[in-house]
Chains A and B, each alone.
Chain A
Amino acid sequence: MIEIVDAARCTGCNICVRACPTNVFDIVPGSPPRIARQGDCQTCFMCELYCPEDALFVAPQVAPAPPGGFDDGPLLGNYRRAVGWGRERQSTASQDASYELLTRTH
């Protein structure tokens, strides 16, 4: 589930508010968006991909995290890097080796 909107990285562009398919965020004028409906988060990680600043962190668990911090520093933005989205990166869809695996499952 979505757990972190990193205030230090967030520029308030609110792209995540639009991109989230389950409408989890609310716009807060002059501040980073608020995680207003965490329970509706479907843990699809799409908000991370659409955040140009790598300011979001979706924990992999489908249940909310217990109170207490995350050691989130090294993980922010790692999914975006893996798919090759962002400035001066190239989509890794061109390296998709699914065809190698699919021919071995039949």
Chain B
Amino acid sequence: MTDNAGKNQRPPVTAADGAVQYEADVLVIGGGPAGAWAAISAAANGARVVLADKGFCGTSGATAPAGTALWYVPPDEDARDRAKASRFTLGGELAEPAWMDRVLEQTWTNAQQLAEWGYPFPIDESGEQRRTSLQGPEYMRLMRKRVREAKVRILDHSPALELLVDEQGAVAGAAGVDRQADETWVVRAGAVVIATGGCAFLSNALGCNVLTGDGQLMAAEVGAALSGMEFSNAYGLGPAFSSVTKSLFYKWATFYYQDGSAIPGAGSAQGRGVIARTLQSQPVLACLDRADEQIQAWMRTAQPNFFLPFDRLGIDPFKQHFPVTLRLEGTVRGTGGLHLVDQTCATSVEGLYAAGDAATRELICGGFTGGGSHNAAWAMSSGFWAGAGAAGYARSRGRAGLRGRLLRAGGAGLRDTGGSAPYDSDAVIRSVQQEVFPTQRNWTRQADLLDDSLARLDALWHRVRGAAPARSALAAVRAREAAAMLATSRWMYRSAQQRTETRGMHRRHEHAALDPAQRHRLLSGGLDEVWIDRLALSSATVRTEGVTT
């Protein structure tokens, strides 16, 4: 399970490297909700923290522009049991009750913290604050403010390009580029938290184009394992012309053929497969004609962004039919991500932690979508734990670790492997999209099409690895995004190949039923050679079988 690239190809960091050099106890990569909570939590544990975001901490990621429901349940035993049961069967019984309990409890605490910090939760008729949703711009503006108040150094527009490791292979920082200053940077750190989000393959789903799997690539390069990458085929529903893949309101929609007749069985939830199939051959139109006036009024206040595309084009979504499409949201709404080995959200590599959508969410929703409420609860909980865990690890390692020789762990797009020219990043991205976007290949998977896609994706990876490094640090940003999407697609499809059943969102054409013998996790990793391993669920999970359903 070690890095395929081999340690001997890792160049050392020199004193001349990086126009800007920082030293920190904890480096958080990614400034969405998980990264922000991680930074605040690490700082609260006494760590000096640097947070590097590819874009701008406060607007970056899926949450800020979209907003989200929150899995917020009062500490009442019945209510929490119902909450835990709600996605357990849908998720193929792969969630772990102990993790669900922890997340529900931490989310309860963190939402209280948000209220104390001044987040304006709505108040219902009985005078109670309702904390089951967060408006994205407001939430993330507040989180940025709190990160700054925690004395965290924020590096905006500063994508990390690769992790740094010490001579024992423990993660000890990262190197990247400030793309507005066109300067490279190096951060030496006692521990690193990956909070870079999932991978949505530049599908234009709302806020998701910064989510290209960068952190998973960097982690895999140092040997980290992923889990549940077969649960990676979530598609968001939205107007065909628009980025606004907010699906909640389509519960009140009817779906139509072009001739105006309703499509039998089509729906936002269970009926989304019908929409996917219909879209393969013809347009699908929607109209929110099942929302009465009260519902319509609530919708306006609940999601102002939902109405932007309609208002700007003069479409009345409650009366007029408009075309819809499905955009791949990959592991953003899927649940696969970096495998966690303990309650501090440590990965399988020393010094490396993961939080939010970059980490697996199977622990709380199995193979069913983590979209919305669960992912939001997971981001604030796992971020909180990963930040504390990383701070504790950095403290135990001491400052000495920061002064030793560090090696650059990056591969594709960064290292000279003898190729004569860099790869064409945009061409690589288009090639990956052609394999993962079509619902014919990815909504329901089948062995021959998985083999077919993997043959091309594997060949593409080897061409990428054989190419010359990107010509500049700025060009390397896109090159690394392309490599990360390519790596993600191979973990996805290789895992999908190995799960010869239908469970959670993973559907297999030739294995349409759940196979009780496959109630295990699929770990994956590796780059030049992708590996898959089975992992039995922890015994605590198995003991609760039959109780939580």
Contact = CB atoms under 8 A, between A and B. Distances in A.
Interface in B242-259: 242-244, 248-249, 251
A96 to B, nearest CB: 5
Given A21-B55, A98-B132, A44 B243 contact: yes
B302 A44 contact: no
A60 B238 CA distance: 12
Contacts of A17: 180
Which of A40, A60, A63 has its CB near the most chain B CB atoms (within 10 A)? A60
Interface in A88-104: 91-102, 104
A37 to B, nearest CB: 11
A60 B308 contact: yes
Given A22-B209, A79-B308, A93 B242 contact: no
A96 B301 contact: yes
Nearest to A39: B426
A21 B59 contact: yes
B210 A22 contact: yes
A102 to B, nearest CB: 6
B122 A99 contact: yes
B124 interface: yes
Contacts of A92: 135, 301, 304
A78 interface: yes
B122 A20 contact: no
Nearest to B179: A23
Contact of A97 (B137, B242, B251, B298): B298
Contacts of B311: 75, 78
A102 B132 CA distance: 8
A98 B312 CA distance: 23
A83 B301 contact: no
B59 A20 contact: yes
A44 B242 contact: no
B122 A96 contact: yes
Interface string A32-44: 0000000010111
Nearest to B69: A102
A100 B123 CA distance: 11
A79 to B, nearest CB: 6
Interface string B104-147: 00000000000000011111100000101111011000000000
Contacts of A105: 248, 251
B58 A19 contact: yes
Contacts of B64: 21, 44, 46
B156 interface: yes
B304 A83 contact: yes
Contacts of B55: 20-23
A20 B123 CA distance: 32
Interface string B276-297: 0000000000000000000101
A50 to B, nearest CB: 7
A98 B69 contact: yes
Contact of A46 (B134, B137, B309): B137
B302 A97 contact: yes
Contacts of A94: 120-123
Interface in B36-88: 54-56, 58-61, 64-65, 69, 86
Contacts of A21: 54-56, 59-61, 64, 207, 210
Which of B56, B119, B134 has its CB near the most chain A CB atoms (within 10 A)? B56
Given A21-B60, A60-B241, A61-B242, A82 B304 contact: yes
Contact of A95 (B122, B156, B179): B122
Interface string A61-84: 111000000000001001100110
Interface in B125-174: 130, 132-135, 137-138, 156-157
Nearest to B372: A102
Contact of B241 (A40, A49, A61, A97): A61
Contacts of B295: 101, 104
B133 A102 contact: yes
A83 B304 CA distance: 7
Given A21-B210, A22-B210, A60 B304 contact: no
Interface string B182-211: 000000000000000000000010111110
A96 B302 contact: yes
A45 B301 contact: no
B157 A79 contact: no
A34 to B, nearest CB: 13
Contacts of A50: 59
B204 A62 contact: yes
A4 interface: no
Given A21-B56, A101-B299, A79 B204 contact: no
Contact of B304 (A18, A62, A79): A79
B135 A83 contact: yes
A62 B301 contact: no
Interface of A: 17-23, 40, 42-46, 49-50, 59-63, 75, 78-79, 82-83, 85, 91-102, 104-106
6 contacts: A19-B58, A42-B209, A46-B59, A99-B130, A101-B248, A102-B132
Given A83-B138, A96-B135, 18 more contacts: A21-B64, A23-B55, A42-B207, A43-B242, A50-B59, A61-B242, A62-B241, A75-B311, A83-B304, A91-B135, A93-B138, A95-B122, A96-B122, A96-B301, A98-B303, A100-B298, A100-B302, A105-B248
Interface of B: 54-56, 58-61, 64-65, 69, 86, 119-124, 130, 132-135, 137-138, 156-157, 179-180, 204, 206-210, 241-244, 248-249, 251, 295, 297-299, 301-305, 307-309, 311-313
**Top-4 shortest CB links A-B:** A21-B55, A98-B133, A60-B309, A44-B65
